[in-house]
Structure 1
Amino acid sequence: MQKICVIGGSRYFGKLLVKRLQAADHHVTVINRGSTSPPAGIEHLVVDRNDEAALTAVLGSRTFDVVVDQVCYTPVQAETAARAFADRTRRYIMTSTIEVYDPATASLPAVPPGTPVPEEIVDPATWLVAMDLPWHDDAYLEAHYAEGKRQAEAVFARTGCFECTSVRSAHVLGGGAQEFTGRLAHYVGRITRGEEITVHAQVLPTVFIHYEELAELLLWATTADFTGPVNACSDGQLDVHGLAAITATQVGREAVYRTVVAGEPASPFSFDRHYAMSNARAKALGFSFSHTTDWLPGAVVEALTTEPSPTA
């Protein structure tokens, strides 16, 4: 049994991770702002993780074997957490994102289309950190989500206070209404209603992961000893046409497409640039992934059950 602290853990795969940690007989502590309580038997500390003094006070004399940070979006938050947990844990896991590889958000080494992107393309040990940017501005943070994650990873990589890893998640799907981004529901709804799906003229594939598989990978990471970033994605790249085709099969209707003009936004997962991740490192470390096409039809069915029936 380990003592594991989860920062966030109130919804989607974070909520599932807490349940799986508890089922594995770990002593689990959840830290969040109190909007959602964890399951019975989970220690709950209510605090704003951005308030360093309050965070330190609520932690008291507690120590942990592992901290899993589900809600770190900026280098400022990372630096606060690094100080607060410096003498309280031996291992720190930050949930990151595929968006760190988006070439539209940073100057990155070019990767040929079709070549899965490895972790070393974005090295947190050498990434520039700028603490003086307006990270507390919600609008700025939303516009610079990928850079916030890159710099947060960089802060943890250089802390030296504990071993750390960042789990760079692919696009997470599954769970019906739990999938709060609504991206899969977007396709289910539009295809069900016979509405157009807007796509780029030349679309490139991306990678996905089921929310249960991501929770399982994070659980695995709490008992592992590797450090540095690791990509988390199911096997099999899929472009927007492939995603829509699987959705259409489950819905029982044809997908209708419209090609966007220059500068016009396209539907979620229609990409005109390549940053589909490689999961080779996680596999080499011992984690086994499913194939996207094995679970995606079931995820569509889950989303379909929450989609209102089209009116006549």
Structure 2
Amino acid sequence: MENARKTLVVGGNRYVGRRLIDRLLAAGDDVTVLNRGSSPPPPDVRHLVADRDDEEALTAALGDLSFDVVVDQVCYTPRQAATARRVLAGRTRRYVMTSTVEVYEYEDSIAPVRETDVDPLDVPVDLELPWQNPEFLDAHYGEGKRQAEAVFASDPALEWTAVRVAHVLGGADDFTGRLAHYADRIRTGDPIAVPPANRPATYIHVDEAAGFLFWAAGQTFTGPVNAASHQALTTEELCEAVGAHFPDGKTVFQEVEVGEVSPFSFRRCYPMDNSRAVRLGHTFGNARQWLGRAVAETLGKDG
């Protein structure tokens, strides 16, 4: 592996990250995984253990290592971004941050949103917010990712890109429980909470998301890029795919003016435009073509 590409994956030792690591290994990369040690990486992978929030420990764990590319699966806050920028500057040619469609959560657009609709250079950064508080971070997930992107954009010490990943579906190892939420209600006939004006959203299969990150790691473009399958899906389409596995079930939608709604129901319209990635040479699948397979995988059904 003397001439292999040296790749560091920060976090991401399950779901999308596990598939990404498998792709990197299959391509012959010399892979290093850095996480807190909660779960071991696959064989043939160098494993570094450190808390990424502890800059001194992170620096010590990396030692004198350098990399051709870093894929950061767990950068959630501007503080983490600032630490990563300081520690990794000079250690890597390219930095790929896994971001999210939720950076567009304040948008409400009939047209699919483009990367320029949320320009990191226009996003104010506040390092003093309680980013270390899990409840605060959970409630400000999209904001944390926006500000993390802004840190890299404001002082590009690294060749960086932020991959804004659509809502991920598929895989027997889907730990989110979001499709299970619909399955439970359809099986029992319990109501599914949706807003009166329920908007469509963009999705990506878990394998496609891993494939996109793998592809992005080998490119040279910079700045944000949207990663989403073609065609937006509605909650009704998702429920139809789930309901196909429960012929005795019943899908009942309950409109909710205020308050919490089901996981894939949206009051705002912000499906992502994936044309930048397409122009750069990536080929996406069609969400309606893989939806049935994704649901079957997650629910543990045949077909």
TM-score, normalising length: structure 1: 0.92
Asked if residue 208 in structure 1 is aligned to residue 203 in structure 2, the reply is yes
The one of 142, 155, 161 aligned to 2:157: 161
* Equivalence for 1:218: 213
* Equivalence for 1:310: none
Structure 2 Cα separation of the partners of residues 202 and 160 of structure 1: 40
* Equivalence for 2:134: 138
Structure 2 Cα separation of the partners of residues 222 and 252 of structure 1: 43
The one of 24, 37, 54 aligned to 2:27: 24
Bigger mean CA deviation after superposition, 260-269 or 221-230: 260-269
Structure 1 Cα separation of the partners of residues 83 and 115 of structure 2: 25
Structure 2 Cα separation of the partners of residues 76 and 221 of structure 1: 24
Q: 1:160 to 1:305 in 2, by over 3 A?
A: closer
Asked if residue 122 in structure 1 is aligned to residue 118 in structure 2, the reply is yes
How far off is 1:47 after superposition? 0.5
Structure 1 Cα separation of the partners of residues 267 and 154 of structure 2: 34
**C-alpha distance after superposition, 1:171-193 (max 9, x if no partner):** 111112x1111111111222123
Structure 2 Cα separation of the partners of residues 197 and 174 of structure 1: 21
Q: 1:253 to 1:124 in 2, by over 3 A?
A: farther
Asked if residue 236 in structure 1 is aligned to residue 235 in structure 2, the reply is no
Conserved? CA contact 1:250–1:297, under 8 Å:
no
Asked if residue 62 in structure 1 is aligned to residue 65 in structure 2, the reply is yes
The one of 3, 12, 15 aligned to 1:12: 15
**C-alpha distance after superposition, 1:195-245 (max 9, x if no partner):** 221222221100111110000000001111110100111111111111111
Structure 2 Cα separation of the partners of residues 222 and 48 of structure 1: 23
Structure 1 Cα separation of the partners of residues 147 and 299 of structure 2: 37
Tell me how many residue pairs correspond in the alignment.
Answer: 298
Structure 1 Cα separation of the partners of residues 155 and 85 of structure 2: 7
How far off is 1:138 after superposition? 1.4
Percent identical pairs in the alignment equals: 51
* Equivalence for 1:261: 256
The one of 75, 85, 89 aligned to 2:88: 85
**C-alpha distance after superposition, 1:138-168 (max 9, x if no partner):** 1111111111100000111223221100000
The one of 74, 78, 90 aligned to 1:71: 74
How far off is 1:259 after superposition? 2.5
The one of 273, 277, 282 aligned to 1:278: 273
Conserved? CA contact 1:197–1:255, under 8 Å:
no
Conserved? CA contact 1:124–1:154, under 8 Å:
yes
Asked if residue 43 in structure 1 is aligned to residue 46 in structure 2, the reply is yes
**C-alpha distance after superposition, 1:48-80 (max 9, x if no partner):** 011101111111111001000000110000000
Alignment-mate amino acid for residue 85 of structure 2 = A
How far off is 1:253 after superposition? 4.4
Alignment-mate amino acid for residue 170 of structure 2 = G
Partner SS for 1:251:
coil
* Equivalence for 1:191: 186
Runs in 1 of length 4+ with deviation above 6 angstroms? none
Structure 2 Cα separation of the partners of residues 245 and 253 of structure 1: 13
Structure 2 Cα separation of the partners of residues 261 and 199 of structure 1: 6
Alignment-mate amino acid for residue 133 of structure 1 = L
Q: 1:81 to 1:17 in 2, by over 3 A?
A: same
Conserved? CA contact 1:199–1:257, under 8 Å:
no
Alignment-mate amino acid for residue 25 of structure 2 = Q
Partner SS for 1:125:
helix
Partner SS for 1:296:
helix
Structure 1 Cα separation of the partners of residues 199 and 145 of structure 2: 23
Partner SS for 2:68:
strand
Structure 1 Cα separation of the partners of residues 300 and 69 of structure 2: 37
How far off is 1:252 after superposition? 2.6
Partner SS for 1:250:
coil
Conserved? CA contact 2:239–2:251, under 8 Å:
no
TM-score, normalising length: structure 2: 0.95
Partner SS for 1:161:
coil
